[in-house]
Amino acid sequence: MTNRFRTPSGGRIDRRARVSFRFDGQTYDGFRGDTLASALIANGVHLVGRSFKYHRPRGFISAGSDEPNALVDVARDRARTAPNLRATQVELYEGLNATSQNRWPSLGFDAGAMNDLFSPFLPAGFYYKTFMWPAGAWKRFYEPKIRAMAGLGVAPTLPDPDRYTQNHAFCDVLVVGAGPAGLAAALAASESGAKVVLCDEQAELGGSLLAETTATIEGQPAAEWLSQTLATLTARDNVTLLPRTTAFGYFPHNLIALAERVTEHLASPDPNQPRERLWKVRAREVVIAAGALERPLVFPDNDRPGVMLADAGRTYLNRYGARVGERVVIFTAGDCGYRTALDLKAGGVAVVAVADLRAEVTGDLPARALAAGIDVRPATVVTGTSGRLRISAAHLAKVKDGAVGPSEKIACDALLMSGGLTPSVHLFSQSRGKLVWDEAAGAYLPGTSAERERSAGACRGVYGLAAVLEDGYAKGEAAASDARTHAAPGRAAAPASVAKGRAFNAAGDHASADGFIGATPHARNPAFVKAFVDWQNDVTVKDIKLATREGFRSIEHVKRYTTTGMATDQGKTSNMNALGIVSEAIGEAVPKIGLTTFRPPFTPTTFGIFAGEARGDLFDPVRKTAIHDWAAEHGATFEDVSLWKRAHYFPKAGEDMHAAVARECRAVRSSVGMFDASTLGKIEIVGPDAAEFMNRMYTNAWLKLAPGRLRYGVMLREDGFVMDDGVVGRMAEDRFHVTTTTGGAPRVLAHMEDYLQTEWPDLDVWLTSTTEQWAVIAVQGPKARAVLEPLVEGIDLSREAFPHMSVREGRICGVPTRLFSVSFTGELGFEVNVPATYGRAVWEAIFAAGEPFGITPYGTETMHVLRAEKGYIIVGQETDGTATPDDVGLGWAVGKAKKDFVGKRSLERAAFFRPDRKQLVGLLTKDPRTVLEEGAQVVADPKALVPVPMLGHVTSSYMSATLERSIALAVVKGGRARIGQTLVVPMPGRMIEVDVVEPVFYDPKGERLDG
């Protein structure tokens, strides 16, 4: 295809490097240095998308990150497909493959465009009004239909094959934006040796200078000054330049998030390079030089392809050598439009008319336009446009004394609009600085700072090349100076330095503060007119006025009701005009209405950059015990318990979980099994006051526990609810070996540290986490003693010398051990603690010694079944943070004679004595084969009036191989008084009758514990 709209020369594109690309299946040519947008415009393509709600044909509006319309899908392959990219920011590379979005079946003919005809039925708030009836229809019918018709691009379903990295960086001065203000700031800041980072979202640094053809700086053409300045900055070791890098978030204490696109612009990305890089920059000082955005004008049919921002038209011509049309009409509210008119005319474009909203048109730029023979029409508005997929005429009308006269159609293929400039205060506002309305600038400008930052140039309403350069230089100088004096990061303080400053000699046509906010007048029937305020969300003047008529006055409410400013462009082009329309409709001045909040990200940011390396195996740390590999080699399946991998069960060939668990349970009850309990939390509590500390932290009495004995401990929060439990061994007068639940270990240690450090710093006690130091092997079953006896040295394992709930130190397999006689199964049991490095060797030795007894390794599932048969609770399963010790049958573990312990006073509250508290009970289904679902509700009478009173829920439920029937634990209101009653567990389609029983199903007297 030809580049029919390409100028014969000029621009910053590399005309020797031809680049072939595809858009919607058609092949085009462009040049290196083009964006997808500039290359399409050079080929005469303006129709690039369909709108979100009405499916109206849409073209480019801007030349930068503020683009609301030209969203495309760029695909390298099926996995490397990025939706919703702004064509104005997509750099062209050989073979680039882009498609338009939100159209079906094709861009030229779109079935959804009938929404446009039905638009009277799609007013503001239509989601809220129309689709609420009948109940349920939203989910079943409306939402899927609307999603299919509306919506933006489609995310790929394949995993992202690319790599994303994250960097931490520290600097004295971060400069955001590399236009004239940012460049001058970086020059000044780096002069003094300060470490400077300069970032800009564009591929080339230079900002507005990249589109300057006539301006001069220090006597040189702007482009020449730019390349010299970049060379100077590049040569300085203390400067880091980051093009293609968007500062998208400003977080407390000058943490700025930058998204760098590393390989996105390359035809063949280096696989060793990440696709994108997240920079977390901690800057002592920040200079925001974000520039300003041109505002559209809001007039009827202002969304026709070919209607664009004036400065965008100038940028396409000067920077990319691409003409936006051959016959152009300009609609302006200030001098900005004339700058474009003059450049376009010089570039060989016919500028057929300039419609100026102002009644009086004076000044240098309009005068030069008149002198150049351009038809300048003061007091003129655009009241409509013609054309279907591209503008063919603009309708111009005179305004006199507020009345709009008849319109005249002027043929054109592009209409450029300029409503003035909106300073880009996004980052400043994100930093929680206060914005103030500036009447002279007609804009919100940065006011009081919250962070150590300062704005420079157009983003604070300073216009004119020399003024911008001087402002930037002064801010850079001050930032570097403040970075030296306020050395400590994270100390916000008012900037104190006064910059010496530097004068710049610069000349050129510059932007000015004049402009217009709101909707321009027209004499047409508003009911049949669409004047767009927010292009991306299809919000019109009518929608906003309707919202105000329906009583919405706060701009935050108008925003949410009409969705204006809520699209992916976050209202960069629309917010101010929406304010102006609300202002006019409710008769309040713009600053009285307030402003919506600016939130990160400044432009849409990929999920990949946030995930960084934290994907797949690196998503979360994995904790494995010393015995993990043995279990894996012996066919264990694993389950995640907090970060731990725990052996779940050990299936033999042909066994499912149910069969494996039944076999493992029978082995423990009839002979012996072994279990890896290493994940239990362990804390060593040492010191002269260790027993006193234990006494205060746990409900139990500890002072009289003899060394060599174990005790089951219950820990409460101060509010009296069960927090954790575990077996504790007193190793010596001043030493306790505490165990906690697997998931609770860090919480318990923090809880203990809290009390020790802040309430009782007088206690002489030391706490050390020893979870990782010990491997723990539980050997359980009637043959447990016989298995261990030959392996142990220095410990008499006889029942008399080593009774249940004792601890002895000695050796096993030649390795030091703390041997517990303890059971979580109800059988005779031991827990062998050995240093973790010996864990596997000792495990294997015990396994070998147990072979004659058929020793069976078992996993967490069997452990759960065995303990449930005995009615032993699991904290977090039978408790939910609202259970007292008495609720779950642990009243016996509370030392009532103790004067105080954490949670004791709370246990005396009246509510804890209510008879209808939920209490732990056992449930037996009438049908022994029915296994209840954990979490199922328990009720007394399922036929009761809705809502049926809920008595409680099932907390644990298993098929018990030992009892050859199902068993369940539950917490039920007044449960202990209900023992003997029949209750009901309602499930979908059936009612399950259950008998309430004592929560101990097996060996209630505990006769098996001593073997």
- Residues in the site for another protein, rule: CB under 8 A? 251-253, 255, 282, 432, 450, 488-490, 492-494, 718-719, 750, 753-754, 757-759, 761, 899-900, 904-906, 908-910
CB of 498 to another protein, least distance (A): 20
Residue 53, both tokens: 């709600």
Contact between 450 and 432 under an 8 Å Cβ cutoff? The reply is yes
Nearer to another protein, 371 or 897 (CB): 897
CB of 901 to another protein, least distance (A): 10
Length of the chain: 1011
Please name the helix (run of DSSP H) or strand (run of DSSP E) that holds residue 345, with its range, or none. helix 336-346
CB of 437 to another protein, least distance (A): 22
Nearer to another protein, 16 or 899 (CB): 899
Task: Report residue 755: phi and psi, to 5°.
Answer: -65, -40
Contact between 922 and 729 under an 8 Å Cβ cutoff? The reply is no
Q: What is the 3-state secondary structure (H, E, C) of 540-574?
A: EHHHHHHHHHCCCCCHHHHHHHHCCCCCCCCCCCC
CB of 282 to another protein, least distance (A): 8
Nearer to another protein, 719 or 1003 (CB): 719
Nearer to another protein, 522 or 696 (CB): 696
CA distance 210 to 960: 77
CA angle 268, 272, 278 (to 5 degrees): 100
CB of 601 to another protein, least distance (A): 16
CB of 392 to another protein, least distance (A): 54
CB of 489 to another protein, least distance (A): 6
CB of 432 to another protein, least distance (A): 7
CB of 493 to another protein, least distance (A): 6
CA distance 479 to 456: 11
CB of 281 to another protein, least distance (A): 12
Nearer to another protein, 527 or 910 (CB): 910
- The residues that bridge with 307 in the sheet, in sequence order, are 415
CB of 865 to another protein, least distance (A): 36
CB of 842 to another protein, least distance (A): 32
The contacts of residue 439 (CB under 8 Å, 6+ apart) are none
Which amino acid would we find at residue 158? L
CA distance 1007 to 782: 11
Contact between 504 and 217 under an 8 Å Cβ cutoff? The reply is yes
CA distance 89 to 63: 8
CA distance 495 to 474: 13
The contacts of residue 117 (CB under 8 Å, 6+ apart) are none
CB of 255 to another protein, least distance (A): 5
The contacts of residue 715 (CB under 8 Å, 6+ apart) are 697, 698, 699, 722, 723, 724, 725, 748, 751, 902
* Dihedral angle of Cα 726, 729, 733, 735, to the nearest 10 degrees: -70
**3-class DSSP state of 673:** strand
Residue 21, both tokens: 């690309």
CB of 905 to another protein, least distance (A): 4
Nearer to another protein, 255 or 940 (CB): 255
Nearer to another protein, 29 or 684 (CB): 684
CA distance 115 to 53: 7
Could you tell me how many helices (H) and strands (E) the chain has, helices first?
25, 51
**3-class DSSP state of 703:** coil
CB of 613 to another protein, least distance (A): 16
Nearer to another protein, 370 or 763 (CB): 763
Nearer to another protein, 231 or 494 (CB): 494
Nearer to another protein, 371 or 750 (CB): 750
Nearer to another protein, 360 or 908 (CB): 908
Nearer to another protein, 435 or 626 (CB): 435
**3-class DSSP state of 580:** helix
CA distance 480 to 198: 13
Nearer to another protein, 280 or 709 (CB): 280
Nearer to another protein, 231 or 750 (CB): 750
Nearer to another protein, 602 or 1001 (CB): 602
Nearer to another protein, 418 or 431 (CB): 431
Nearer to another protein, 145 or 491 (CB): 491
Nearer to another protein, 434 or 634 (CB): 434
Residue 106, both tokens: 């094709």
> How far is CA 234 from its chain centroid?
35
Long-range contacts from 131-134, C-beta under 8 angstroms, 24+ separation: none
CB of 748 to another protein, least distance (A): 14
> Half-sphere exposure (CA, 13 Å, Cβ side) for 589?
7
Nearest to 1011 by CA among 710, 677, 777, 672: 672
**3-class DSSP state of 204:** coil
Residue 692, both tokens: 């006193």
Long-range contacts from 656-662, C-beta under 8 angstroms, 24+ separation: 657/861, 658/959, 661/861, 661/862, 661/865, 661/961, 662/959, 662/961
CB of 880 to another protein, least distance (A): 19
The contacts of residue 237 (CB under 8 Å, 6+ apart) are none
Contact between 822 and 727 under an 8 Å Cβ cutoff? The reply is yes
**3-class DSSP state of 756:** helix
Nearest to 511 by CA among 215, 67, 203, 307: 215
Contact between 889 and 879 under an 8 Å Cβ cutoff? The reply is no
CB of 459 to another protein, least distance (A): 21
